[in-house]
Amino acid sequence: MKIPISKNWFGPEEFAAIQRPLNNGWVVQGQEVKDFEKAFSEFNGARYSIACSSGTAAMQIACAALGA
């Protein structure tokens, strides 16, 4: 018996957002990430934000920022 944990649903807008960085070759950098970082900063009232590829990378950056 399979018990679904969640059901993903993507509409045309989500597929377009996924396709843009794949089509232009900038998956982990580029304008999409820059736009996300800016929007995230504005949302949180922060001066800066850094998008990370993983939670581990985020923790390493946070530790480095704290001088650890």
The tokens for 4 are: 């679904």
Q: What is the pLDDT of residue 60?
A: 95
Is the pTM higher than 0.85? The answer reads no
Q: Residue 20: name the closest of 35, 42, 37, 7 by CA.
A: 35
Q: Which residue has the tokens 């530790």?
A: 63
* Tens-place pLDDT, residues 30-64: 888 999 999 999 999 999 999 998 999 999 999 99
pLDDT of 28 strictly over 90? no
